[in-house]
Amino acid sequence: MGETTTVAVLGTGTMGAPMARNLAAAGHDVRVWNRSRDKAEALAGDHVTVAASPGEAAADAEYLLTMLHDADAVAAVAPGALAALPHGAVWLQMSTVGLDGSRRLEAIAAEHGTTYVDAPVVGTKAPAEQAALTVLACGPEEVRAGCEHVFDAVAAKIVWVDGELGGTRLKLVMNSWVIALVEATAEAISLAEGLGLDPRLFLHTIADGPLDSPYAQMKGAMMLDREFPASFPLRGAEKDAGLILEAAREAGVDLAVTQAVRRHLARAVELGHGDEDMAATYHSHRSS
Ligand code: NAP
């Protein structure tokens, strides 16, 4: 166990709650704040103090960690925390907010003279619980060792990416792959059912071969069972599809698959599946 630092965690949802728990388990002093206070209260205990406001959480913190839904949510709460942060503290922005969102938040950090580290994560609820996330980070060389000390409590792997907002750029690439894979799984299972086959045959036939993927097996099993406990909430996947398309437009890249996936995710939200796992995109195939 390394040196103890004080970390303010804003956002204790699906991802933020286990991350805060693991920071405390690693011996850090953790201050948590969440808009719905009950979710933060559930974490109170050894090394975890519940704060009444973002500013109260940040007041004696060396690191500010944000893990909120989107850029609007982060932009709404970060200024109160940044104004209270001690001089020299570092902001670890770990929510998925896209390129425009990250630029906006980086500007807010600059207004407060705070070092901004762009650090979105790969991995869903279970890797967050197991401290096995992958952090895709971009930030100044001189703060990296300190940041790694905090990341080590929540992650199995840290990838430093150079260039403007490299962490967010790589995160968008990773999520384009993830959402396409889940959509392709939903499509194959729906097609198998439509053609009168037992859809288990699809997962059985790819199993253990070069076409297999643990993710396809995991999400495919949810589709077969019609049970979608949220690991990566579908509403978040829809938001991410929009962020990927926004970045692709700026880059002049045509992403036909992501466009189709976004339509399906939006349809699944309309059908009432936004709070379920993204695998519930399966329903959009059955109803269209
Ligand atoms: P979540 O369970 O839906 O939690 C969202 C958090 O944002 C909650 O703390 C929520 O507060 C807060 N929030 C939303 N709108 C807000 C606002 N306007 N003001 C203040 N707080 C607000 O989401 P999550 O799955 O933990 O995801 C958090 C971030 O990590 C997202 O950017 C997501 O894209 C990213 N991410 C998620 C996964 C995953 O698999 N779940 C994986 C990698 C990255 P309340 O509790 O009050 O609603």
Ligand 1 close to Cβ of residue 139 (< 6 A): no
Residue with CA nearest ligand 1 atom 29:
95
pLDDT tens track for 129-181 = 999 999 999 999 999 999 999 999 999 999 999 999 999 999 999 999 999 99
pLDDT tens track for 91-143 = 999 999 999 999 999 999 999 999 999 999 999 999 999 999 999 999 999 99
Q: How many CB atoms lie within 10 A of CB 259?
A: 13
pTM of the model: 0.94
Which of 12, 68, 133 to mutate for ligand 1's pocket (most ligand atoms within 8 Å of CB)? 68
CA 108 from chain center: how many Å? 21
3-class SS at 174? helix
- Distance, in Å, from the CA atom of 288 to the CA atom of 284, rounded to the nearest integer, reads 6
**E strand or H helix that includes residue 160:** strand 155-160
Ligand 1 close to Cβ of residue 175 (< 6 A): no
Which of 15, 154, 219 to mutate for ligand 1's pocket (most ligand atoms within 8 Å of CB)? 15
Ligand 1 close to Cβ of residue 167 (< 6 A): no
- Distance, in Å, from the CA atom of 216 to the CA atom of 283, rounded to the nearest integer, reads 16
pLDDT tens track for 58-90 = 999 999 999 999 999 999 999 999 999 999 999
- Orientation of helix 98-111 relative to helix 234-251, angle to 10°: 90
Token pair recorded at residue 220 = 């495919």
Smallest CA-to-CA distance from 17 within 90, 120, 125, 132 is with 125
